[in-house]
Chain A
Amino acid sequence: MSEFPHYFSIWDKAGHYALRWCAWGVLFFLMLPILVIIPLSFNVEPYFTFTDGMLRLDPEAYSLRWYGEIFSDDKWILAIQNSFFIGIFAALVATLIGTVAAVGLSRAEMPFKRLITAFLLSPMIVPLIIIAAGMFFFYTRFNLVGSYLGLIIAHATLGTPFVIITVTAALTGFDHSLYNAAISAGAAPVKAFWDIVVPLIRPGVISGGLFAFVTSFDEVVLVLFLAGPSQRTIPKQMFSGLREQINPTILAVATMLIAVSVAFLMTLEFLRRRGERIRSGQID
């Protein structure tokens, strides 16, 4: 009990332990679904539950069967290709215009800053079903429903707020006179932006792009409304799978997506540390 000050009463200590148990309980609640889904994806039986064999840790009860099934199913292959294709292009569009906008937004002279910021971040807040219904009505006129371009535009819209947030954060303390100096020294605006501004905020830009990619990669409501049969993505395939017949292939896909999230999180953490070092001046 040496970790407590001597004046702590028994109740203080009890409260301390209660808080600790509470906190760990909530962490357990947060991690539980992920912890359950991974072993279930290796189930040899076509169920969503732990079999007796799995509980006995019998190697016979585990298999890679569902992983094999993903890669032998043309629908899943197409879905994986589509998800990457749409996600990459949506992220590129969102990162490009989002970064430029964030630079303008972080300037002290920006007019109506608060209002415009709230507007630019609103795609994050407006319910997806409203965006989806509106886009379905409006994009039909331009033949964008059922096309890759329509989905890329739609997903880029959802990604831009994340780029704004990360790049604005990377720009805190950024000295805009550096850009102005480059311009008055005769650099073209694009060159000045690319050579002066971008290197200093690169970690923020990359994490914004990653956020935008993940947003697209995980998005299903807009896809349900705007995609044709040839644009099915991983989430759409999972959604229809969960509605029609539940099959452990979905769990195998889910486990692979968890691996993607882990990789994503590690990259973000790396970028965050790098960004901190750039801001503190340790990297030129």
Chain B
Amino acid sequence: MAQDPIALTREEAASARRELWRRKFMAFAFVSPLLLFLVFAFIAPISTMLYRSFYHPTVAALIPQTLAAMESWEGKSVPGDDVFTTFAGELKQLAKKRLSGRLAEELNRVRPGLSSAVKSSARKMRRADDALLKKEGPELLRKANQVWAENSTWRAVRQAGQIFTASNYLTALDLEFGEDGSIQGREASKIYVALYTKTLRIALTITVLTLLLGYPLAYYLANAPSRQANALMLLVLLPFWTSLLVRTTAWIALLQTNGVVNSTLIWTGLINAPLELLYTQFSTVIAMTHILLPFMILPLYSVMKGIDPSYLRAALSMGSKPVPAFVRIYLPMSLPGLSAGALLVFIISVGYYITPALVGGTDGQMISNIIAFHMQQSNNWELAAALGSLLLVIIVALYWTYDRLVGAGNIKLG
């Protein structure tokens, strides 16, 4: 080593290593403010959501003593009278504080039908005297509603009282805990798996439509004279950078019962009565295809611009027919743009909220809309968090694929 005139001495090598580490550290130091910012503003919120999908303290806070008394209960038969007495007392307190409705809602989620039983029992306990409740609590409760004599009711109470639970994920997958604690299909309602399937189907439809519309346009623009292509590109970019709500509003104006599309169709005599276009799955698909089309065109165009047209010309002049030449020469070369655009459109449409919420009606709702419903209207935040976490898993898997195939840094903005 020492004979080699360009070899570094030990000190030189060490200092070169130090310099490299110093530079690595400096590059990282530049990125760190943004990393810290995102950890607070973005990662911590999403982690909180993931946590909330398991963490469920509501019932435990409402009836802590009952749950404590149920600790020793084995679940084979109805719990002992001490549990009944404690529960009757706590139910009275909840009714006084007007919180019994909250408990009813929570128990009803575990076992549909319990809501009215809890509410009516709470009203009756409220009227009862404290001393009487201590003495005859169990009797009063059984008389108030026969569900308290059923073993499964108490199992529901215990299940709802668990602070850490996987039951939200089971609900989100249309499953539930059976009587013996095993996992089984949910009998009462099977909506969420169908909803995920529908969301993925709508996203796929939109992806295929943007591809069918975007590919010819991108091809045309990539092969047009550059001055013309630049001018026409503005017609793609203007809608792209126009407010999403503006575009959705425009589709409402176009598709409503007396809207532009229906009026035109009636005027041309193609139909006699207006079609129901708005507030359907159809309007969701059309409006979202329009909104996401530029995400397909931009990567396709940028890849197609780099394809030398002489390849296709060579194939044609050697006697290939246009269609086989296109399929075997041009299409494979445009695949990077095609996969980038298709993946991006699919990823964005899977999690879309605004457009389905405004033009989708009941039929065109997607998974995001149901998450918003559970956040804002039914106040079932834990289920919303579980549904959101499952959606996040789908998105992360797709994004990972995108990063492998395309590279996240290659997203086109215009």
Least CB separation from B31: chain A residue: A104
Q: Across the interface, do B409 and A49 meet the contact criterion of CB distance under 8 Å?
A: no
- A19 surroundings in chain B (CB, below 8 A): 216, 219-220
Given contacts A128-B351, A134-B46, contact A268 B414 (CB under 8 A): yes
A227 within 8 A of B: no
**Of all chain A residues, which has the CB nearest B326?**
A15
Which residues, 369 to 400 on B, are CB-close (under 8 Å) to A?
A: 371-372, 375, 381, 384-385, 388, 391-392, 395, 399
A181 at interface by CB-CB < 8 Å: no
Q: Is the CB of A220 within 8 A of B253?
A: no
Residue-wise, chain A 223-248 has the 8 Å CB interface mask toward B (1 for contact) of 01100000000010011001100100
Are B413 and A254 in contact (CB-based, < 8 A)? Answer: no
Is B268 in contact with chain A by the CB < 8 A criterion? no
Are A157's CB and B254's CB within 8 A? no
A161 cross-chain contacts in B, Cβ below 8 A: 411
Is A31 part of the binding interface, using a Cβ–Cβ cutoff of 8 Å?
Answer: yes
Q: A22-B217, A37-B250 are in contact. Are A130 and B46 (CB under 8 A)?
A: yes
Find residues 38-73 in chain B having any chain A CB closer than 8 Å to their own CB: 38, 41-42, 44-49, 52
Asked if A173 is at the interface (CB within 8 A of a chain B CB), the reply is no
- Cα A242 to Cα B357 in complex, Å, equals 10
Closest A residue to B286 by beta carbon equals A29
**Residues of chain A with a CB closer than 8 A to B352's CB:** 127
Q: How far is the CB of A216 from chain B (nearest CB, A)?
A: 12
Which of A58-66, A109-117, A274-282 lies at the interface? A109-117
Chain A residue contacts of B381, Cβ below 8 A:
133, 137
Does the CB pair A23–B221 fall under 8 Å? yes
Q: B247: shortest Cβ distance to chain A, in Å?
A: 5
From residue 237 to 255 of chain B, which have CB atoms closer than 8 A to chain A? 237-239, 241-254
Instruction: Tell me the smallest distance from the CB of A103 to a CB of chain B, in Å.
Output: 5
Please report the number of residue pairs spanning A and B whose Cβ atoms sit closer than 8 angstroms: 277
**Is chain A's interface secondary structure helix, strand, loop, or mixed overall?**
helix
B289-304 at interface with A (beta carbon < 8 Å): 290, 293-294
Option from A33, A107, A134, A220 in Cβ contact (under 8 Å) with B239: A33
Is B322 among interface residues, defined by CB-CB distance under 8 A? yes
Please state if B243 and A261 are interface contacts (CB–CB under 8 Å).
yes
Q: When the two chains form their complex, are residues B42 and A157 in contact, meaning their CB atoms are under 8 A apart? A: yes
Does A201 interact with chain B (Cβ within 8 Å)?
no
Interface residues of B in 243-274 (CB under 8 A from A): 243-254, 256, 258-260, 263
Residue among B232, B254, B294, B371 making CB contact with A129, cutoff 8 Å: B371
Distance between Cα atoms of A107 and B26 in the complex (Å) = 9
Q: Chain A contact residues (Cβ within 8 angstroms of B): what range?
A: 35 or more
Cα distance, A239 to B251, chains bound together (Å): 14
Query: Bound complex: CA of A26 vs CA of B213, how far in Å?
Result: 6
Q: Would you call A70 an interface residue if the criterion is a C-beta within 8 Å of the partner chain's C-beta atoms?
A: no
B237 in contact with A125 (CB, 8 Å):
no
Q: For A98, list chain B residues within 8 Å (CB).
A: 34
17 contacts between A and B (CB under 8 A): A20-B220, A33-B246, A33-B254, A100-B34, A104-B30, A125-B395, A127-B352, A130-B392, A132-B375, A134-B388, A139-B45, A156-B37, A156-B41, A160-B37, A211-B413, A242-B249, A261-B242
Beyond known contacts A127-B353, A130-B351, A134-B388: 17 more, CB 8 A cutoff? A23-B219, A30-B290, A32-B250, A33-B239, A34-B247, A37-B250, A97-B37, A111-B24, A126-B392, A126-B395, A133-B371, A137-B48, A221-B354, A242-B358, A254-B243, A258-B242, A265-B238
Interface residues of B, Cβ cutoff 8 Å to A: 20, 23-24, 26-31, 33-35, 37-38, 41-42, 44-49, 52, 213-214, 216-217, 219-221, 232, 234-239, 241-254, 256, 258-260, 263, 290, 293-294, 322, 347-348, 350-354, 357-358, 368, 371-372, 375, 381, 384-385, 388, 391-392, 395, 399, 402-403, 407-409, 411, 413-414
Question: What are the 10 closest A-B residue pairs judged by CB atoms, nearest first?
Answer: A127-B351, A104-B30, A33-B250, A134-B45, A23-B220, A101-B34, A134-B49, A138-B45, A107-B27, A129-B368
